[in-house]
Amino acid sequence: MNLNQLSQNLNILARSVGAFLKHECENFDVSKVEMKGFNNLVSYVDKEAEEQLVKGLRTLLPEAGFITEEETDNTKGDRYNWVVDPLDGTTNFTHGLPAYSVSVGLMDGDEVVLGVVYEPNRDECFWAYKGGGAFCNDKQINVSEAPALKDSLIATGFPYYDFGLTQQYLQVLGSFMGRSHGVRRLGSAALDLAYVAIGRFEGFFEYNLNAWDVAGGAIIVREAGGKVSKFSEGGDYIFGREIVASNSRIHQEMLDTIAEHWKGTDA
Annotated binding site for Mg(2+): 69, 85, 87-88, 213
Q: Which positions make up the binding site?
A: 69, 85, 87-88, 213
Phi, psi of 264 (to 5 degrees): 65, -145
Give the integer Cα–Cα distance in Å for 8 and 239. Answer: 26
What b/e sequence results for 207-236 when a residue is b if at least 16 CB atoms lie within 10 Å of its CB, and e otherwise? bbbebbbbbbbbbbbbbbbbbbbbbeeeee
